[in-house]
Amino acid sequence: MSYMMYVLLFGLVLGLVAVASNPSPYFAALGLVVVSGVGCGVLVSSGGCFLSLILFLIYLGGMLVVFAYSAAMAAEPYPEGWGSWPALRLMVGYVLGVGVAWVFLGEGWYEEDWGGFDGLVGVSVLRGDMVGVSVMYSSGGWLLVAGGWVLLLTLFVVLELTRGLARGALRAV
């Protein structure tokens, strides 16, 4: 089980290497989908099934879908994949950088490194992280109000930025 955790963490780092090497946005969005899927696996392996579900639904199913069809603005006839020379060079550089950091920081990685103890397991149908998020609705109610206000404000920010016509925010004068 801890081996699967190792594989998932390795996939997380490798997926972000694929995104950070800046290929064509189609491939970068695909890499980000893989990274968020693997990240969900990491959370599930640590016992956080509710947070993993939130990540899948909201992040992958909400935000990344918007990015995927916004990548149509970067449409080009020959999209540059990970096999092109600049992207490959960046990927090799990033992998080497992570390897060097691993050599310096990766001491004492044993079997007993995996923490995580959910006090409600076997006692209740509620998981620990679900109960923790419900605190946001009880004691953290004002934070929810502030978050909702920020989301409404962002809607108006977006509408102002994309207004166009004669008074948009970005104009090529």
Regarding 154 and contact with other proteins (CB under 8 A), the answer is: yes
Yes or no: say if 50 and 130 are a contact pair by the CB < 8 Å rule: yes
Name which position in 101, 121, 141, 145 contacts other proteins (CB under 8 A).
Answer: 101
User: Cα separation of 56 and 39, whole Å?
Assistant: 9
User: Cα separation of 104 and 151, whole Å?
Assistant: 42
Regarding 1 and contact with other proteins (CB under 8 A), the answer is: no
Name which position in 83, 151, 166, 167 contacts other proteins (CB under 8 A).
Answer: 151
Regarding 41 and contact with other proteins (CB under 8 A), the answer is: no
Name which position in 1, 105, 125, 166 contacts other proteins (CB under 8 A).
Answer: 105
Give buried/exposed letters for 146-165 (b at 16+ CB in 10 A, else e).
eeeeeeeeeeeeeeeeeeee
Regarding 37 and contact with other proteins (CB under 8 A), the answer is: no
Regarding 34 and contact with other proteins (CB under 8 A), the answer is: no
**Looking only at Cα atoms, what is the longest distance across the chain?**
66
Minimum CB distance to other proteins, residue 90 (Å): 7
Yes or no: say if 24 and 85 are a contact pair by the CB < 8 Å rule: no
Q: Residue 147 corresponds to which tokens in the numbers above?
A: 């978050």
Regarding 54 and contact with other proteins (CB under 8 A), the answer is: yes
Regarding 25 and contact with other proteins (CB under 8 A), the answer is: yes
Regarding 115 and contact with other proteins (CB under 8 A), the answer is: yes
Q: How many residues line the site for other proteins (CB under 8 A)? A: 84
